[in-house]
């Protein structure tokens, strides 16, 4: 009997969290027989693979969880692709593939809500869950595609300007019912197998960040719809693998975030538009810095944000599509 759902989780030094995630999935997948899960250890190098393997054996999960240890950390796209390839080796691959972060806990009924929506909307190729804090406060998990005006809004971070530019802002308001989105968070993202057949896997030129944006854009260009289904509730403890929480600004942002951003714009919108997007963000950020100095604002940007942005921008790095992670 073909599996209805296959799940991929990529672990990088988050053993306790991934085991908690598996426990939350255990009861959910019992109602979806048969279900398969590929757990990819992305070269953690800290004994994670051994601990996870021991837990799978001790809990009796080997009938639905397969561990795939990789030699090195290949990033989000390559790690998920390795899991998808493993699951596709089945003689009867699943109809749907769920990409799930290791720092998540699946609420009751979350998987069934995704599958139910997918089966009632055959044009929906990608469906994302409502991500939330442990206490139930929603996180942004449905978005518009990035644009030059959206980059200006992100750089400005000003109340009046943001309201005026709200129709271009990347983050969509948290919907109370299912709604179309340009892209959804890869922390809990259901993909119809037909989409993979049509457009291929995640672009491994992205180490981390923007890979799901790129994938959803490719799917949209191939005629597939992307939806956000808030009935599927998933707790997301953001930034556990990277140590970076984009909702907070106390830590320096990693270089691979800026590299991924540049790759996305150059690849999908072209060099000139990538330059325009960089200039838009830079203009907005400089206005924000000036206003903060004049008004003595207590809000702070991540450390060295301007320097890091310029270092990885097309203004300095040109229009390369390299997947460097410096």
Give the tens place of pLDDT for each residue, 231-265: 999 999 976 655 565 555 578 999 999 999 999 99
DSSP codes of every residue in 191-204: EEHHHHHHH-S--T
CA 28 from centroid of its chain's CA atoms:
22
Distance CA 258, CA 302 (A): 13
pLDDT over 50 (residue 326): no
Distance CA 154, CA 156 (A): 6
42 in Cβ contact with 131 (< 8 Å): no
pTM listed for this prediction? 0.94
- What percent of the chain shows pLDDT beyond 90? 79
Taking the CB of residue 164, how many other CB atoms lie within 10 A of it?
12
| CATH-assigned architecture of domain 5-144+181-236 | Alpha-Beta Complex (3.90)
Confidence of residue 299 (pLDDT cuts 50, 70, 90): confident
């Amino acid at each position: 009997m073909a599996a209805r759902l296959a799940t991929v989780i990529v672990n990088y030094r988050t053993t306790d969290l991934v085991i908690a995630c598996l426990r939350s999935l255990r009861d959910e997948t019992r109602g979806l027989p048969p279900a398969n899960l590929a757990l990819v250890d992305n070269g953690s190098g800290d004994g994670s693979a051994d601990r996870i393997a021991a837990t799978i054996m001790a809990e009796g999960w080997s009938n639905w969880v397969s561990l795939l240890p990789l030699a090195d950390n290949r990033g989000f796209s390559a790690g998920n692709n390795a899991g998808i390839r493993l699951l596709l080796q089945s003689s009867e691959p699943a109809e749907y593939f769920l990409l799930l972060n290791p720092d998540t806990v699946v609420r009751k009924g979350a998987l069934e809500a995704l599958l139910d929506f997918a089966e009632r909307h055959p044009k929906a190729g990608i469906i994302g869950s409502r991500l939330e804090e442990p206490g139930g406060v929603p996180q942004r998990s449905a978005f518009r595609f990035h644009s030059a005006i959206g980059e200006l809004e992100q750089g400005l971070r000003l109340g009046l300007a943001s309201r005026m530019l709200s129709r271009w802002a990347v983050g969509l308001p948290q919907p109370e019912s299912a709604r179309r989105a340009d892209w959804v968070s890869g922390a809990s993202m259901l993909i119809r197998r037909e989409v993979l057949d049509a457009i291929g896997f995640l672009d491994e030129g992205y180490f981390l960040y923007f890979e799901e944006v790129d994938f959803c854009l490719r799917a949209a260009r191939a005629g597939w719809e992307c939806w956000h289904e808030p009935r599927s509730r998933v707790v997301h403890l953001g930034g556990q693998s990277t140590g970076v929480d984009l909702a907070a600004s106390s830590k320096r942002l990693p270089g691979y975030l800026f590299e991924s951003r540049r790759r996305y714009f150059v690849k999908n919108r072209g060099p000139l538009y990538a330059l325009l997007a960089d200039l838009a963000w830079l203009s907005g950020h400089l206005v924000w810095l000036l206003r903060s100095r004049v008004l003595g604002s207590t809000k702070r940007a991540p450390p060295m944000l301007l320097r890091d942005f310029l270092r990885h921008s097309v203004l300095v790095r040109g229009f390369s599509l390299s997947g460097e992670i410096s």
